[in-house]
Structure 1
Amino acid sequence: MTQFKLHTLETAPEGAKEILEEAQKQNGFIPNLYKIMAESPEVLKAYTQMNQLFTETSFSQTEKNIVWLTVSYNNSCHYCMTIHSMVAKMFKLSDEMIEALRTGKPLNDSKLQALRKFTDTMVEKRGWASEEELQEFLNAGYSRKNALELVVGIGQKIISNYVNHISHTPIDEQIKDFKWEATSEKTE
């Protein structure tokens, strides 16, 4: 297996150090994903800028967490499911909701379930949602603006999911209590 370097502030290329320093300041540690992405400052910058853009969308914090976990679940990303389970807990998503997102079970809230379902559709169909699927999302109370903003959240997570897939990012000690492993069966 090809090993990817876990960069530190000392080994990170120029262009990545500032982002790693900011992550250290915000989190109290530098996530292993960032340490790996630091190999390409452009990838690290793209990921963090897309994260910033997605946080500025009209989605609530709960909805953003649903998108992050849904995309990561669909892509079977062990690292993102682990860290976003912790993030969801920090943002006060219920244990029941987090567990449903981690296991592919439906959410109890019909509007949030519609967001989850449309996110699933967009990921699984690589953006080729049907008119009916889009209309179902809109009928749940979302807007066309939300459908477009969703693409930013999906894009952001695909970057991290794919980096984690090729690098086999190790789980940070700080998030190990939320460790997640893919199951072979996915439910609607």
Structure 2
Amino acid sequence: MAEPTIHTQETAPAASKPLLEKSVEAFGRVPNLHGVMATSPALLDAYQHLHALAVEHTAFTPEERTVVWMTVNVANECHYCVPAHTAIARTEDIDEAIISALRDETPLPSERLEALRRFALALRDTHGRPSAGAIADFRSAGFGERAMLDVIMIFAQKVMSNYTNAVFQTPVDAGFQKFDWAPPRMAAE
């Protein structure tokens, strides 16, 4: 683990200061993840841009977007992003049964959402080479080519945050700690 520098608006590199201002506008504070990413203005800018695209320009509903985010977070065992996206899901009024199923890796209440999760997992498990069957299952749930590409874009966004948090063990913000999460294999230890 690398020891993280968690920047504030005052300590951040000059190119990251306006990006952290965006964080404050969106969250009311600088989330620790953004503070860590601020050391690399390029990373923080790319992450924020992909996040905005995921929210504003994908084919997904907030519920579907949450399924992709949380599936990748859980699959990558991100101690920070699972609690953070649990909080985000609650602010978007995502059904608690969906949030719990994503966190606990249990079946989702909708076959369509479950197909979305399976496709995201297939991308991860095959390093971006899902089988023809996985693609057919995804399409049979009503998703098309745009949705496949949108999953890939969200996946890229989550790799940025999940890997940053894994390398630096980013401390979970106080506001997210009530949604603490650990991978099942670690929770059993």
1:80 aligns with 81
Aligned runs of 1:1-188 on 2, under 5 Å? 1-55=1-55, 56-184=57-185
- State how far apart, in whole Å, the 2-side matches of 1:108 and 1:160 are: 27
SS of the aligned residue for 1:6 comes to coil
Residue identity opposite 1:37 in structure 2: M
Partners of 1:50 and 1:156 within 8 A in 2: yes
Deviations 1:160-179 (CA, angstroms, capped at 9, x unpaired): 00000000000101111111
Runs of 4+ in 1 over 6 A off after TM superposition: none
Gap regions ≥5 residues in structure 1: none
Deviations 1:96-148 (CA, angstroms, capped at 9, x unpaired): 11110001001010101100111111112111101111010000110011111
Residue identity opposite 1:121 in structure 2: A
Deviation, 1:2, is 2.8
TM-score (norm: length of structure 2): 0.95
State the Cα RMSD in Å: 1.1
SS of the aligned residue for 1:116 comes to helix
Deviations 1:40-99 (CA, angstroms, capped at 9, x unpaired): 000001111111222211111111111100000000001000100111111111111111
- State how far apart, in whole Å, the 2-side matches of 1:159 and 1:33 are: 10
Gap regions ≥5 residues in structure 2: none
> Percent of pairs identical after alignment?
35
- State how far apart, in whole Å, the 2-side matches of 1:148 and 1:58 are: 10
TM-score (norm: length of structure 1): 0.95
Residue identity opposite 1:34 in structure 2: H
- State how far apart, in whole Å, the 2-side matches of 1:10 and 1:143 are: 45
